[in-house]
Amino acid sequence: MKVVEPVNVLILLVIVVGIFAFLACRYLLRIAPLVYATAVIRAKEARLMDEKGFEELILSPFEDFCFVLENTEYGKYVGGTEYEEIERGLLSYKKDLHDEIVGLIPERFEEVFDFLNREWDVANLRTVLVGMHAGMSEEEIKKRLIEAGYIFNLIEGLPGKELEEVALALEGTPYNIRGGIEEYKATGNFSFIDVALEKVLLEGMLEKAEGKKRKELRIFKQYLQVLIDSLDLKAMLRGKAWGVGAEDIKRFLMNFEVERDYEDSEGVKEFLERLRETRYSYLIEDVREELDSMEMEKKVDEAVLRKGKEISTTETFGLGPLIGFLVMKEAEIRNLRLMAKLKEEGVSPEKVREFLLCL
Amino acid sequence: MVEYTIGLFYALLGAAIAMGMGGISSGLGVGVSGVSGIGVISEDPKKFGPVLVLQALPQTQGIYGFLGAIIILIGTGVLGVVEPISEEVGLAALAAGIVIGLTSITAVAQGMIAAAGMHSVAKRPETFGQSIVLTVMAETFAIFGLLIAILVFVGIKFI
């Protein structure tokens, strides 16, 4: 029997161990930058408001809104007895949170997550245009702007201008929404501007994420697709409700795979039925035909929120927890703003609950 | 002084592999879990206790490597007995060192489980016990490795 030379065994061993070591190190190098960020995010998730906290807020009078939030993370941001002050506080908190998260993100993903800054440009633009739509004064609009984003200085100069000047000013920026402004001028319907703003933000995100082949971005691209589907679905439902033709609605959509269904269906009900056989079905599982458009959109938002929560638990180390947290926090802040507004207007707790997203 | 033989070389190599790989694997495991732990306590310093316990768990493979290296050095007579070490004994010691070294790689996985356990504890402190149990699961294979190394030496009658 030939005895194998120990040296050959050793060489084989070195190769086997080398392969193990290479695979282990490669995986560690991939996840190492995200381990710290994920840990911070998970610790922050522990401080998300639970049902009990929301119930307490819903049942308290408006005057106690800030008092109830005192022992939460929002405590040092919210104050005052008017909705505008509370809203400003919540948005300031959101801005600081975004800044913190941008600081946590590893360098190789910074470009992809720059939407956390661009969101503020879109939010400020929306504030200006809503203010103009509602006939607010220049000072009132400027008071509501949050100093964040890339083109804050430009946006700050827009209150007091005409719509045409606003459209012109935005033409050289990534936020060219001339189409939405034209439709708004023609119909008086602000939703066109809403959709146009959302679209430019998502187009920017898509542009940054496309072409990047990193494995960790797979989950980000998945979620981005959910947001795109949600935008397109809401735009199509609105379009169908107002009788907007396929040719006209197309420019507000990022994807129009269901053009034939849109054209051929008589109204929203029939369109919804057809959509249940398409890839949008996951967003309209809870949408019933008898709901009004606002309730339908709320159900779609809840479906998006569920997807975000799902994404949070898909990966232990990766962008999943980060995306999930951002989604849940966004929904929480939206609920708080809505609650404050409704309570200031004296809406009953039962009615307030109907408007809130189910977290 | 121990006479230099090829057996001595294999025995020392075995000890080096046991401790070396044990140290590297535990270092990586403790490193990954440590980074996670710092993330958790940066948000909630009160979680330091559970985080520390979880971070300590991947260290055990380094201890097994240390133990294994000492067993090899004593068992082969590098420490204590001054006798030439035969090639066969040296190869047995090398095999023992290799099995300890290879199974110590579980410390890397254990570190990742510990890090994930810290995330769970950060969100829900009541999952601390369960996190420890799950983290310790990866340890069993390193323990088997150490046992096999001990059995090798029992088999060749050095312990």
Per-residue pLDDT of chain A (359 residues; tens, 9 = 90+): 455 677 787 788 788 888 888 888 888 888 888 899 999 999 999 999 988 999 999 999 999 999 999 989 999 999 888 899 999 999 999 999 999 999 999 888 888 888 999 999 999 999 999 999 999 999 999 999 999 999 999 999 999 999 999 999 999 899 999 989 988 988 888 888 999 999 999 999 998 888 777 777 888 888 899 999 999 999 999 888 888 888 888 888 988 888 889 989 888 889 999 999 998 999 998 888 888 888 889 999 999 999 988 888 888 888 889 999 999 999 999 999 999 999 999 999 999 998 898 87
Higher model confidence: residue B79 or residue A145?
A145
Q: Where are the domains of chain B?
A: 6-155
Nearest alpha-carbon partner for A339 in A327, A351, A324, A321: A351
Chain B partners of A321 at a C-beta cutoff of 8 Å?
119
Out of B98, B112, B122, the one facing A39 most closely (by C-beta) is: B122
CB atoms within 10 A of CB A53: 15
Contact (CB<8Å) B40/A43: yes
Classify residue B65 as exposed, middle or buried by CB count within 10 Å of its CB (0-12, 13-18, 19+).
buried
Residue B131 — very low, low, confident or very high, per pLDDT cuts 50/70/90? very high
Cα separation, A231 vs A205, in Å, equals 14
The residue type found at B147 is L
Higher model confidence: residue B71 or residue B158?
B71
Chain B partners of A8 at a C-beta cutoff of 8 Å?
none
Contact (CB<8Å) A39/B44: no
Contact (CB<8Å) A42/B112: no
> DSSP code of A147?
S
- A-facing residues of B in 26-85 (CB < 8 A) are 28, 32, 35-40, 42-44, 47
CA distances for A92 relative to A41, A44, A79, A183, A337, angstroms: 19, 17, 12, 32, 12
Chain B partners of A32 at a C-beta cutoff of 8 Å?
32, 35
Cα separation, B118 vs B123, in Å, equals 9
Which residue in chain A has the smallest CA separation from B45? A43
- The CA-to-CA distance between both ends of chain B, in Å, stands at 22
Q: Residue A235: CB partners within 8 Å, gap ≥ 6?
A: A195, A249, A252, A253
Q: CATH topology for B6-155?
A: Four Helix Bundle (Hemerythrin (Met), subunit A) (1.20.120)
Residue B151 — very low, low, confident or very high, per pLDDT cuts 50/70/90? very high
Confidence check: pLDDT of B63 > 90: yes
CB under 8 A, 24+ apart: contacts of A47-52:
A47/A72, A47/A73, A48/A328, A48/A329, A48/A332, A48/A359, A49/A332, A49/A359, A51/A359
Which residue in chain B has the smallest CA separation from A44? B43
Cβ-Cβ pairs closer than 8 A, A with B, add up to 77
Chain A interface includes B105 (CB < 8 A): yes
Res A231: pLDDT: 92
Q: Residue B152: CB partners within 8 Å, gap ≥ 6?
A: B92, B95, B96, B99
Which residue in chain A has the smallest CA separation from B121? A43
Res B64: pLDDT: 96
CB atoms within 10 A of CB B21: 26
Rounded to the nearest angstrom, the minimum Cα separation between B72 and chain A is: 18
Residue B122 — very low, low, confident or very high, per pLDDT cuts 50/70/90? very high
Contact (CB<8Å) B102/A32: no
Classify residue A288 as exposed, middle or buried by CB count within 10 Å of its CB (0-12, 13-18, 19+).
exposed
Q: State the residue for tokens 């994404």.
A: A311
Cα separation, A254 vs A200, in Å, equals 10
CA dihedral B10, B16, B17, B21 (to 10 degrees): 180
Res B159: pLDDT: 65
Out of B39, B116, B120, the one facing A36 most closely (by C-beta) is: B39
Pull the structure tokens for residue B120. Answer: 């769970």
Determine which helix (DSSP H) or strand (DSSP E) holds A55, and give its type and residue range. helix A51-59
Cα separation, B32 vs A36, in Å, equals 9
Rounded to the nearest angstrom, the minimum Cα separation between B96 and chain A is: 13
- A-facing residues of B in 84-103 (CB < 8 A) are 87, 91, 94, 98, 101-102
Contact (CB<8Å) A39/B21: no
Q: Are A92 and A73 in contact (CB under 8 A)?
A: no
Res A147: pLDDT: 93
> The pTM is what?
0.86
Nearest alpha-carbon partner for B67 in B110, B107, B15, B103: B15
Q: Are B90 and B73 in contact (CB under 8 A)?
A: no
Residue B141 — very low, low, confident or very high, per pLDDT cuts 50/70/90? very high
Contact (CB<8Å) B91/A43: no
